[in-house]
């Protein structure tokens, strides 16, 4: 089985230590508990920001509706199709670093949008931007949740390479969906800081995770053919979704 490149394995090992084993000690907390607290708490965090700063604009309510709803959707998904990767136990240091480096910075977007930290320079999204964000977010949530649910239920009954459904043309549709929905939040804010946060998360966490997953999937005999007709994140629209029968 081909292995992931050395730099990818080093990044994955670093991410594992920082997010799960930092500072050592007992592994008491489930990683899912930390993630769910932030995801589920977003609705209340953004609502509190709006009340504190008296911002009841269309942009603030749109952000509240989108990011808050995603948090509720995440909790529902975790309830019916939990990701086994998030069920692992982590140290208190790992929980702290997970929040400080990834989960907490996600909340910088609503802070920039709603608070007065940017002063008069605070961008104001147009109705067209809000409409585009709603479109991208809705599509992203559907892609992420459907692909995660497909993987969860398929692997319960059949182990192996998933090549149909959401995975017929894209090898990592769940990551694509999550990138789309978080990108919609940055689009609403209209500032470079949320994009920096997302770029860090995508390059530091998402890309190593996807490449490590591909190294694992390469053990299947049908991997080479599947890889040739699918896209990493975007579909190869001109290629057949499935190999010919017979």
What does the pLDDT read at residue 123? 87
pLDDT, one tens digit per residue, over 25-76 is: 999 999 999 999 999 999 999 999 999 999 999 999 999 999 999 999 999 9
For residue 240, pLDDT over 90 is answered with no
For residue 241, pLDDT over 70 is answered with no
What does the pLDDT read at residue 238? 59
The set of residues, in sequence order, having a beta carbon less than 8 Å from that of 73 and lying 6+ positions away, is 141, 145
Q: Which of 79, 77, 45, 83 is nearest to 64 (CA)?
A: 45
Task: Report which secondary-structure segment, H or E, holds 210.
Answer: helix 207-217
pLDDT, one tens digit per residue, over 88-132 is: 999 999 999 999 999 999 999 999 999 999 998 888 999 999 999
Report the share of the chain in percent with pLDDT over 70.
95
pLDDT, one tens digit per residue, over 206-239 is: 999 999 999 999 999 999 999 999 999 999 875 5
Give the C-alpha separation, 204 to 192, whole Å: 18
What's the pLDDT band for 245 if we cut at 50, 70, 90? Answer: very low
Give the C-alpha separation, 140 to 186, whole Å: 14
Q: Which of 238, 242, 228 is nearest to 164 (CA)?
A: 242
What does the pLDDT read at residue 246? 41
What does the pLDDT read at residue 122? 86
Of 161-170, 186-195, 230-239, the range with the lowest mean pLDDT is 230-239
Q: pLDDT averaged over the chain?
A: 93
- Of the chain, the end-to-end C-alpha distance in Å amounts to 27
Give the C-alpha separation, 125 to 58, whole Å: 9
- 19 CB neighbour count, 10 Å cutoff: 22
Supply the DSSP string of 38-107, one letter for each residue: HHHHHHHHHHHHHHHHT---HHHHHHHHHHHHHHHHHHHHHHHS--GGGGSEE-HHHHHHHIIIIITGGG
For residue 243, pLDDT over 80 is answered with no
Between CA 106 and CA 25, with CA 203 as vertex, the angle to 5 degrees is: 70
């Amino acid at each position: 089985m081909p292995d992931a490149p050395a730099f990818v394995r080093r990044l994955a090992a670093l991410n594992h230590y920082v997010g799960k084993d930092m500072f050592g000690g007992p592994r008491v907390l489930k990683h899912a508990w930390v993630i769910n607290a932030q995801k589920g708490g977003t609705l209340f965090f953004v609502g509190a920001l709006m009340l504190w700063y008296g911002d009841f604009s269309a942009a603030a309510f749109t952000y509240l509706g989108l990011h808050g709803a995603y948090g509720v959707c995440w909790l529902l998904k975790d309830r019916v199709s939990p990701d086994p990767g998030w069920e692992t136990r982590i140290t208190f240091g790992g929980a702290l670093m997970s929040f400080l480096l990834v989960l907490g910075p996600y909340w910088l977007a609503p802070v920039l949008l709603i608070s007065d930290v940017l002063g008069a320079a605070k961008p104001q999204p147009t109705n067209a931007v809000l409409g585009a964000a709603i479109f991208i977010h809705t599509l992203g949530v559907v892609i992420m949740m459907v692909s995660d649910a497909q993987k969860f239920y398929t692997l319960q009954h059949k182990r192996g390479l998933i090549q149909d459904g959401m995975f017929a043309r894209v090898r990592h549709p769940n990551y694509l969906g999550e990138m789309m929905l978080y990108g919609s939040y940055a689009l609403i804010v209209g500032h470079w800081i949320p994009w920096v946060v997302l770029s860090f998360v995508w390059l530091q966490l998402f890309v190593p995770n996807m490449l490590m997953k591909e190294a694992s999937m390469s053990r299947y005999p049908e991997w080479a053919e599947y890889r040739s007709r699918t896209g990493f994140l975007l579909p190869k629209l001109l290629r057949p979704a499935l190999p010919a029968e017979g």
